[in-house]
Structures are given as structure tokens and as C-alpha cells.
Amino acid sequence: MKIDAFATLDAVLRGGSLAAAAQEMHLTASAVSMQMKQLERFLGQPLFDRSGHQVRPTELAHDVAATLREPLQQLQALRRHAPRAVEGVVKLGVIESLMPVLLAGTLAELKARYPRLELRPMRGRSTGLTDAVKAGELDAAVVAEPESGGSARLLWHPLFRREMRLIAPPGAVETSVPALFKQHDWIRYDRQTISGALAARFVAAHVQHKRGTLELDSIPAIVSLVSAGLGIAVVHLVDAGICQTHPVRFVKLGRAAPAVQMSLVMRKADADSRLLAAVREAMGQAVAAALRHRAMAGL
């Protein structure tokens, strides 16, 4: 059992639910539930009353959290104020579409907190970067997580999940997804990528009339073509700056809309690496800032 489980317990109590704690701790709901069960096995007593419709913390849960809250805060403070204790090189893979969003913020956080940690970024596609992590060529990578949940040999730390949308030219007058596909050429995103495959599957299942066969492996290029009125596309956008330079119209795909889970993946053997923990912490701050920027831009 890891000490992080006690911090997760505190997040559950503060947020009022496992889901709220999962969002705060950048974990999946199932990971939070697993940590709580590990704590219960460690303590030999239940921390939650699961007899009703909602899971309710027991008095023991509050006692445990209260006892360890201050020591955990002190430990976190020591980690943040001792940047020289974390030094070394981390080889990090990042899918190209996330480079503009994550790199600057992550590097800035690392420079401020851990000046002796050197980050060596490498771009690529999700599948290739994941394979490089498995092979030990990369220490970690930011990738689109497979729908299956990814290899059990690896650790997947969720960063954010976003619904894919249709982008159309600013002057397009059609209001429905079928009408847009009937009127405009479809510009595909590379089907060899996870998000491209998700988009193609959605269109095949929900759109009868499709025009155009152009397929590109660059999101900025696709956005620029759509902005110029040359077609429509189903994409996952994380860089708000692209659409400020090349304006497009966003159309929601409805309940069946595909979604992409972006995660930080590493080997299980590196689960306790202080270097990777520092990178993950810095990246969490960068992701939060990027999502705020995205919300302000109306994306």
C-alpha cells in the first residue's frame, strides 16, 4: 500500500464522493475505489458504509484522515521545498498535438521546483510512444489511452478526457451533423491514430452520406482547411490557439460522441520513481492551466 492512498482518502472526504476525489487526484474512479479497499485491508476495518444508495464514510475514515492530514501536508511541503533532492534525466514522449499545450507549462513548473531535473522530450504517435516506454527507450509518455484501457504491464495516469467534436467552416449554415456531411467534404484525421480511428468509427455508424476522402495526420493542417471552407472534420482539439488563428464552428456529436482519454503512461517498475512523480506533478499543473485557457476560449 502506498502513502498516496491516505491523501486520496482525504480528497474523498473533502470532495464528498469517489468521483470528486478521482478528478482532484487525476485518477480513475476505479483506482480511487481500489485504494480505499487497500486502506480498509490495512486497517482491518471498513472506512465506508456501503449499505445504502450512496457510499458514506465512517467515523474511522474521518479519524484516519484527521490524524494524517498534517503529516501528509508536511511531507508535501518538504518535497516542494527540496528541489535539489530530485535530479536526473527523464526521457518523455508526447504526442505531437499535445506538444504546444503541455511542454511549456511542464518545463516551467519543473524549472521552478526541480531545477536539476532535465526533461528530454520526444514527439511521436501514441502507439509508437507506448511501445518505446515498454521497451525502456522512454521513461514515460503522454498518449491517447486505448479504449481497452491499455497494456496491463504499464501504469496509466489519467490527465484529461475530452469529447470529440465536429468542426465546420465559420460560414457553414447547416445545423445538423447529417446535413453538414451531406453538404461538405469530410477531411479525415489519420486512422492509424487512436482518435482518428474513433472518429472514423463514429462517422461509419452514424452518417449515411459522406463526401471526400482526404486524410491528413496533422490537426493544425485539418483546422486550417476547415477554416478555409474546404471541408469538415471530427477531431479532438486541445490547443485553443489553433482555432484562434483559424476560426471554425464547433458542432456537438450528441450522446454517442467518441471521447479520447489522454494519460501519462510509465512502466510499473517505475511506480515509485521520484523523477517521474515530479514530472507528473508539474504536468498536472500544466494540464490545469491549459484547460482553463481552453474554457476561456470557448472550446
Residue extents of the structural domains in the chain: 4-80, 85-160+260-296, 165-257
What is the domain class of 4-80 according to CATH?
mainly alpha
Q: What is the pTM of this model?
A: 0.63
What confidence tens digit (pLDDT) does each residue in 144-203 have? 888 776 677 799 998 888 889 999 999 999 989 999 999 999 999 988 888 889 999 999
What is the domain class of 85-160+260-296 according to CATH?
alpha beta
Share of the chain above pLDDT 90, in %: 40
pLDDT of residue 129: 93
Q: In the predicted model, is pLDDT for residue 136 greater than 70?
A: yes
pLDDT of residue 226: 95
Confidence of residue 225 (pLDDT cuts 50, 70, 90): very high
* 131-154 average pLDDT score: 87
Q: Tell me the C-alpha to C-alpha distance, in Å, between residue 166 and each of 83, 172, 257.
A: 44, 12, 10
pLDDT of residue 244: 81
4-80 against 165-257: fold identical: no
CB-CB neighbours of 153 under 10 Å:
10
pLDDT of residue 90: 95
* 212-227 average pLDDT score: 89
Of the candidate CATH numbers 3.30.300.10, 3.90.1150.10, 3.40.190.290, 3.40.50.10860, the domain formed by 165-257 belongs to: 3.40.190.290
pLDDT of residue 59: 92
Confidence of residue 3 (pLDDT cuts 50, 70, 90): confident
What confidence tens digit (pLDDT) does each residue in 54-91 have? 888 999 999 998 998 888 888 777 766 554 568 899 99
